[in-house]
Amino acid sequence: MSVVSEVMKMTDTDDLRNIIDVAQNRMNTLLSSQLRKGSKVQMLPRHQGAKPYDTIGIVERVNPKTISVKFGQYGGYRVSKSMLQIVK
């Protein structure tokens, strides 16, 4: 069975919160291993309500909790890893 179908069957909110925490930690771990200075990134669609809309940025520095990204004419931003996706 798929993970999604199993999650849809769950009714305990504490278990669901735990799954969310584990998934976010795993995503951050994967991003940390892939992000390097010079990597191209873009803000995830749900976070594009603020500048820099659809602009591709370059990673300037990888910090433990945030990533420093230069978005061309929009300047530099320090953003959470969870707000970024890697552009290939």
pLDDT score of 74 = 84
Domain count along the chain: 1
pLDDT on residue 51: 63
Plot region of 2 (φ>0 → left; ψ -120 to 50 → alpha; else → beta): beta
Q: Note down the domain range covering 30.
A: 3-86
Q: What would the pLDDT profile of 21-57 be if each residue is shown by its tens digit?
A: 999 888 878 877 888 999 999 888 776 666 666 789 9
Q: Does pTM top 0.75 for this prediction? A: no
Distances (CA, A) of 61 to 22, 36, 49, 67: 25, 8, 23, 6
H-helix segments, 1-88: 3-9, 13-34
CATH value at residue 70: 2.30.30.30
